[in-house]
Structure formats: C-alpha cells, structure tokens
Chain A
Amino acid sequence: MLRIPCPHCGVRDEIEFRYRGDASVRRPAGEAGMEAFLAHVYERANPAGWHLEWWQHAAGCRQVLKVRRHTVTHEIGAVGLPGDDLPLPEASA
C-alpha cells in the first residue's frame, strides 16, 4: 500500500488517489513538428527507478500533485505542487 503525503491533507492511503501518469512529459510548442508530438503523446522513458508522476488526491482535497516515486521499491521520494521542480537523484537505478 502506498502512503502519499499530500501537502494539503497529510499522509493518506493510495486508495484516495488517482494516478495521472508521467509528469516529465512536456507539451511541445505548436510548431515543433510531427516527431516532437509523436514523442509527447506516445513515447515514454518508463524507467525502472525514480519516476516523476501526477497523482490527483481525488477522494481528498482533489488537488493534482507531483510525486517522485521509485518504480521498483515504491518508495516515495518527494511530493510537491504541480509547479514544483522535484529533482531526480543522479543514479536512477
């Protein structure tokens, strides 16, 4: 069971949250071209290690959070607001 510390509500169980995917994906500029949009919509790094992702606290404050989580150990490294910059640790293994 994941326990996610919501900056607004405190530590809550994963069942209160809804996963919203990879938070490192950035929408390219309008004129960036086919390949950039292909990568944006479909291509993923899918690391076995630290991963930046969106979680919505759907059954709580309903805010969208940015979470740094390890996809092998499930450790939660950091939780922030959408605009926060959560640095990834150097070695992402």
Chain B
Amino acid sequence: MLRYSGFRLAYEALRGHRGWGPAWRKAAPKASYDVVIVGGGGHGLATAYYLAKNHGITDVAVIERGGIGLGNVGRNTTIIRSNYFSRENIRFYDFSLKLWEGLEADLNYNAMVSQRGALNLVHADGQRDLLARRANMMRLEGVDTELLDKVAVKRLVPLIDTENGRFPVLGGFLQRRGGTVRHDAVAWGYARAADARGVDIVEQCEVTGIRREGGAVAGVETTRGFVGARKVVLAVAGHSSRLAEMAGFRLPIETHVLQAFVSEGVKPLIDLVVTYGAGHFYISQSDKGGLVFGGALDGYNTYARRGSLPMVEDVLAAGVTLMPGLGRLRVLRQWGGAMDMSLDGNPIIAATPVTNLYLNGGWCYGGFKAIPAGGFTTAYLVATGAPHPLIAHFGLERFRDGRVIDERGVGPYAWAH
C-alpha cells in the first residue's frame, strides 16, 4: 500500500499527481473464502478490516451490489457522539468514539474527524431533568458531558432563536468530544486499509441467495456466480430483512426512509452539531460551507430512497423556527436512505438461527457513529463465535427474553423510534 504523507503529497505534486493509483484493487470473486461479508458499507468494510488486523483472518471478501460508499455510509449527516442513556449503550458508543479519535492514524487516511462538539437543546423543565439524568449516567461511565444554560447556548450558537414563542430554549447538553466525520472517507479509508491486508473488495456484485447445508451456511449466490464461505456476515443496512428471507428467517426490523439536506455554501456560521429536541431537527456545517441537516423518518415502510415532500416541509419548518436566519438560504440537494428500523430502536450484532451466519444490522438512523465499534465487535463475534462484552446486549434473543433496550420507552413500533 502506498503510504499517504505530507512528503508523498509534495513529491506527487511535483510529478503532476500521476503516481497515486487506485486506493483498492477491483477484485473478482474467488470460488470460496473463510469469511464473506455481504454489504460494502461502513460496517461491512470495518468488519473486514478488523478481521484482518485484530484476528489475522485475511481470506475475506466484501461483496457489494453497487459501488463502495453509495449506501447509507455516504448518505448520512455524519454525526458522531456517545451521549446515550443506558450504561451498555454509553460504553459501546464511547468505545466507538475512542476508535474515531485514533482512526486516521490507524488507517493512514484523512477522514476529517472533527470533534467540534454536539449540542442537544433543552426546551422544557422535564426535558432538562431527563437530559441531566442522562448526563449523570455518562459521567458515571467517565464520559464527557456538560449542561449549559441559555446564555451559554446563545454564546455558542448566536443563530439560535432562544426566545421563540413555541419552544423557547432553556439550555443545552453538550458533548465536546462529539462532532462530525467526512462519511465517504470512512468507507474509502476502511476499503483501502482492508484491501492492503489482503481482503477482496468485490463491487457490482449482488447477493441473490444464501446457500445452506444442514442448518449451516455454505456460501452466497451472486450475480457473478456462487461464492462459497465458511462464515457469512450480513451488513446490508436497510436490506437485512431481504437477506434474512433468503436465509429462511424473519427479523424484528422494518425498512424506513430518512432524508437529509444540504444548503448552498456559506461562510462559517455553526461550528458544532446542534440538535433541536422539540421539533426533531439537527444541523451542522460541512467543511465546504454547506449546512447539513435532517429531521425525522418519513414514517412508513419503504425501500424507495427518495423521501416524501411532507417531511421536507416539516424539516425546513423546524429549522427555520430554531434558526430564522436559515430562511435566507437555498437548499441545494435532498436525498433519502433506506434504513433498518429495529423494533426496539437498537442495533443487532448477533449470531442468527443459521449456523455461521452473522448479522450486523438494525442500525436505525444512528449507525454511522457506530462504524468503528460495530466493525470491531462484529469481527470479534465472527472470529471467536462469542459476542464481545460490549455487544452482549445487542443479541437477537433479547426480544424473546423481554430484555429489549428501549431508550425512549415507545414500544415495538419501528416508525416511533
């Protein structure tokens, strides 16, 4: 692998940038592998990388139906944070945040990890109590968080209308280690680093069936032929149900769409991530200057990655209520991503009813921040056959055992999480 460095950049600049070459090989599928990972998104690529790096398992293929980075890993609003409520979730997501902190050095790739801070706004006394409780849980786990009053919020983000009549801002809840990461770079960086360790990254190859022999997985049928495998991992974001059906079982998952938006580029306006709890809206500014924002799910099962107009109106209205100045900007682009919404709002990293078939899915709309930890723990599960302690609570049996992790207490309604 060609190492990227300041010296290399200067050297290539002098040679007219002709020496770079592709970041990963275009691999054709072999007849069989130790491990086949279905889905070349963040979680699939990270799983491949950590399988090779941490467990020495390099006879691995990542099979992607489209191109690397075109799924949810390249469609999200790039927010990373670990401000969760349940102890298990704080530990898992903070482990991820720690991996983000060392990721660029580890991958030798600039993913533009930016710990600019993530601020949740408070609009009611009850909400403040709830967030204070969450902050205390985080502190008990040794994770950074601060409660801010209204004046401190206004100083941080002058654009916010703290006095708006309907949902005045009473304060905020800030995690300074939270922030954003250039999402495409995460996919490219993991793809390049996995490839360098011998992983085959097979693009334009769709998995159309899962072959089983006597209750165990034997490989996958693809548009480029059968590929045998001792173990198979499903990491297909919004399509886990489709792959589970190919393997003969059902999941506690529905597929829903979430939209995202980018405005025209402007000078620096917002230097952290802001979340508007009352109206469900969140916003940050990309390094190119565009404001990146989004809101709630469209609210019904769909595999169409376009999004509906009523939600466009809803998100824009919430944004303008929070920051009236946004009304002066134009929206440049809008898109949607089809996501696995699990019935308790939490991910599933687990063995499945089919022996040697593993699932990394159910990420809902929070799985980007989890990519390093998701890949790390999925690799551990596949290599050792046992769940890593950080994901013991993400097993499928939690639904049967009545130990669902319902952070918000809304019950088994995918669209309500």
Known: A15-B310, A21-B415. A74 touches B304 (CB 8 A): yes
Interface status of A29 (Cβ within 8 A of chain B): no
Interface status of A2 (Cβ within 8 A of chain B): yes
Interface status of B273 (Cβ within 8 A of chain A): no
Among A14, A21, A44, the one with the most B-chain Cβ atoms within 10 Å of its Cβ is A44
Is chain B's interface secondary structure helix, strand, loop, or mixed overall? mixed
Cβ of B310 and Cβ of A71 under 8 Å apart?
no
Cβ of A44 and Cβ of B308 under 8 Å apart?
no
Cβ of B251 and Cβ of A43 under 8 Å apart?
yes
How many interface residues does B have (CB within 8 Å)? 25
Cβ of B304 and Cβ of A71 under 8 Å apart?
yes
Q: Which residue of chain B has the shortest Cβ distance to A73 in the bound complex? A: B304
List, in ascending order, chain A residues with CB within 8 A of B415's CB: 19, 21
Known: A38-B400, A42-B399, A46-B253. A53 touches B308 (CB 8 A): no
Known: A44-B241, A48-B242, A48-B303. A14 touches B250 (CB 8 A): no
Provide the bound-state CA to CA distance between A13 and B252, in Å.
30
Interface status of B356 (Cβ within 8 A of chain A): no
List, in ascending order, chain A residues with CB within 8 A of B299's CB: 19
Interface status of A91 (Cβ within 8 A of chain B): no
List B402-417 residues whose CB lies under 8 Å from chain A: 412-415
List, in ascending order, chain A residues with CB within 8 A of B308's CB: 1-2, 14
List, in ascending order, chain B residues with CB within 8 A of A73's CB: 304
- Interface readout for A9-44 with B: 1 if CB under 8 Å, 0 if not? 000011100010110000000000010001101111
List, in ascending order, chain A residues with CB within 8 A of B413's CB: 21
List B196-238 residues whose CB lies under 8 Å from chain A: none
Provide the bound-state CA to CA distance between A13 and B310, in Å.
9
Provide the bound-state CA to CA distance between A72 and B302, in Å.
6
List B347-399 residues whose CB lies under 8 Å from chain A: 399
Cβ of B303 and Cβ of A72 under 8 Å apart?
yes
List, in ascending order, chain B residues with CB within 8 A of A21's CB: 413-415
Size class of the A contact interface (CB-based, 8 Å): 20 to 34
List, in ascending order, chain A residues with CB within 8 A of B300's CB: 19, 53, 69
* Distance of A88 from chain B, by nearest CB (Å): 14
List B224-274 residues whose CB lies under 8 Å from chain A: 241-242, 245, 250-255
Cβ of B400 and Cβ of A51 under 8 Å apart?
no
Cβ contact of A51, chosen from B250, B301, B304, B399, cutoff 8 A: B301
Interface status of B343 (Cβ within 8 A of chain A): yes
List, in ascending order, chain B residues with CB within 8 A of A2's CB: 308
Interface status of B309 (Cβ within 8 A of chain A): yes
Among B242, B303, B415, the one with the most A-chain Cβ atoms within 10 Å of its Cβ is B303
List, in ascending order, chain A residues with CB within 8 A of B304's CB: 71-74
* Distance of B316 from chain A, by nearest CB (Å): 14
Provide the bound-state CA to CA distance between A22 and B413, in Å.
10
Provide the bound-state CA to CA distance between A43 and B412, in Å.
10
Provide the bound-state CA to CA distance between A51 and B254, in Å.
12
List, in ascending order, chain B residues with CB within 8 A of A22's CB: 254, 301
- Interface readout for B309-353 with A: 1 if CB under 8 Å, 0 if not? 110000000000000000000000000000000010000000000
Cβ of B303 and Cβ of A71 under 8 Å apart?
yes
Cβ of A42 and Cβ of B343 under 8 Å apart?
yes
Cβ of A43 and Cβ of B250 under 8 Å apart?
yes
Known: A46-B241, A53-B300. A39 touches B400 (CB 8 A): no
Provide the bound-state CA to CA distance between A34 and B250, in Å.
16
Chain B residues engaging chain A, CB cutoff 8 angstroms: 241-242, 245, 250-255, 299-304, 308-310, 343, 399-400, 412-415
- Shortest Cβ-Cβ A-B pairs, 8 listed: A46-B241, A42-B252, A43-B250, A19-B300, A48-B303, A42-B399, A15-B310, A72-B303
Excluding A15-B310, A41-B343, A72-B303, 20 further A-B contacts by CB distance (< 8 Å) are A19-B415, A21-B414, A21-B415, A38-B399, A38-B400, A42-B343, A42-B399, A42-B412, A43-B250, A44-B253, A44-B254, A46-B242, A46-B251, A48-B303, A51-B301, A53-B300, A71-B255, A71-B301, A71-B303, A74-B302
Chain A residues engaging chain B, CB cutoff 8 angstroms: 1-2, 13-15, 19, 21-22, 34, 38-39, 41-46, 48, 51, 53, 69, 71-74
What are 19 A-B pairs with beta-carbon distances under 8 A? A14-B308, A15-B310, A21-B414, A22-B301, A38-B400, A41-B399, A42-B252, A42-B343, A42-B399, A42-B412, A44-B251, A44-B253, A44-B343, A46-B255, A53-B300, A69-B300, A71-B304, A73-B304, A74-B304
